[in-house]
Every structure is written in structure tokens, then in C-alpha cells.
Amino acid sequence: MYPTTAHKRGANQYANVHNESGLADASPHQLIQMLMEGFLARINTAKGAMACSDWESKSIYISKAIAIVGGLNEAVDLERGGDIAVNLRQLYNYISTRLLQASNENNEEMLDEVASLMREVKEAWDAIKH
């Protein structure tokens, strides 16, 4: 039988190779899409960890989601983006704050809220022709 940890390690290595090869070919627009998708995946994983009372994993995945939001926030071009960029930056700051609250309070509803907000931004981003 194949040990679970070895299986997870192999799957993670495959995912890393897949992600790295995707990054090399991605446009800046696609990179933002990938960050948003990664954010949503980490929120789902954090929710699963909360449901299982796996507090260490919850913290890890919420921290990763916060880091992704930080990257998205840094990508906002305030000089060229005008009011939309300012609003987006404020939204990302709000999402980061709510993620910290969700982690401290083990609150899945807050995770649902930020996931919903990010899905709305992602849908708008996906609609942009690049």
C-alpha cells in the first residue's frame, strides 16, 4: 500500500510542476486570474480544516489566502486605475481584515463572505478581454 504522506507529497510535487509551467506561459491578466483561483481554493481548504477542528491547517491556509490578497493588492495600479483601483485596494484591505477575524473567531461565515467578494471581483476580471 502507498503511504498517505508519500501520496500527498507526490501530488503536491505534481501540482507544483503544473503550476510553475503554467506561470511561465501566463499573461499578466492570467496571473491575476490564477491568484484569485488560488485564493478561493485556500479559503475552501481553510473552511474544511475548520469543520474538522484542524486549527493548524486552518491557520496555514488563511495565512496563504492573506498573502495572495497582499499580492493582488500590490498589483493594483493606483496611477492608471483611478477610482476603481482605489475601491479595489480598499476591498482587498477589507478582505484581509475579515480573514484575520475569521481565523481568530473560527468563523466559516466570514470565509464565505470573503470568498463571495473575491468571486465577484474574479467574474468581472474574467469578463475583461485581454
State yes or no: pLDDT of 11 exceeds 50. no
Q: What is the pLDDT of residues 27-84, one digit of tens each?
A: 888 999 999 999 999 999 999 999 999 999 999 999 999 999 999 999 999 999 999 9
Q: Any idea what the Cα angle at residue 50 is, between residues 47 and 51, rounded to 5°?
A: 90
Grid cell locating 120:
465577484
Measured between alpha carbons, how far is 63 from 96 in angstroms, rounded to an integer? Answer: 10
For the chain, the domains span 27-127
Using pLDDT thresholds of 50, 70 and 90, give the confidence band for residue 1: very low
* Domain 27-127 -> CATH class: mainly alpha
Mean per-residue pLDDT over the chain, rounded: 87
State yes or no: pLDDT of 102 exceeds 90. yes
Compute the radius of gyration of the chain from its Cα atoms.
16
Grid cell locating 6:
508519500
Measured between alpha carbons, how far is 49 from 53 in angstroms, rounded to an integer? Answer: 6
